[in-house]
Amino acid sequence: MKAYAKLNLALSVGPPEQTERGVMHPIASWMHAIDLADRVELRPAESFDAQVTAEGFAVDWSLDADLGVRALRALERHLGRALPARLRIDKRIPPGTGLGGGSSDAAAVLKMANEAFDLGLGLDDLRAIGAGIGSDIPFFIDEGEIPGPAIVEGFGDRITRVERSNAILLLLLPRATCPTGAVYRAYDDLGARDLRDVRGCTLATCFNDLTEAACLVAPEVGAVRDATRNALGNQVHVTGSGSALFTFIEDPGRLSLDLGCRAIVTTLV
């Protein structure tokens, strides 16, 4: 199964609140999948056997820390029994970029394990299990392999699917990564903002409340944003808590730029 990356086309972040899962920030976000995906394979086995590989970057985290593995463990706890599986995750979505690769992997594992072991859990059940691991995971759990775009509110738990949009975009991947916790701490230091309604946003009015904080945590993000904006004359946006950025383009065949980082032409899906 492919586990697709996402963009936050719009992201409003409210002041932190105390929840059952600790202090969290409520959000309002317009989220959309893009044509960049990890590959996840899972099938029943005699014993647990997991492997995570990557192309273009190092896998510098332990298996126990991998969100896909954690999703399987959470499902086992929910059921009260082991689910011995052979799990392979081949990553193409860089971590620490705000593209949701780990969350997408976790969603794929939950869906595939539910089918492979004939568990009979509904999507809402899987979303609830996923929410205990990461707030982006419920977005990725949808009827099809590609999650439908959505307005995501609250703590990632309120999801309203909306129509798909069509666009070509340039995805920019600075070398720096943005640890989510560090970005949110920087955001709080800058002063809390009230939540904004993102339902009226269009591709021409994308925004991200975490942009300034991400640039403080990883100054390279701001440098790439400014260089791209100056070179193309386009608005350039951070996705999630960074470090990835994106800008919409019309003719990728005419691009011949050195923006100081890896760049991928892809599309909304």
What residues act catalytically?
Answer: 6, 136
8 A C-beta contact, residue 40 and residue 113: no
- Residue 161 phi, psi (nearest 5): -70, 140
DSSP 8-state secondary structure symbol assigned to residue 254:
G
Element (H, E) at 27: strand 27-44
Render 196-229 in DSSP notation, one character per residue: ---TT--TTS-EETTHHHHHHH-HHHHHHHHHHH
Lookup: tokens for 53: 């590989």
* Those residues with Cβ within 8 angstroms of residue 122's Cβ, 6 or more apart along the chain or in another chain: none
3-state helix, strand, coil in the chain (%, to 5): 30, 30, 40
Residue 46 backbone class (left: φ over 0; alpha: ψ -120 to 50; beta: rest): alpha
Question: How far, in Å, CA of 249 to CA of 206, rounded?
Answer: 14
- Residue 158 phi, psi (nearest 5): -105, 110
* Those residues with Cβ within 8 angstroms of residue 85's Cβ, 6 or more apart along the chain or in another chain: 42, 43, 44, 45, 48, 49, 50, 72, 113, 116
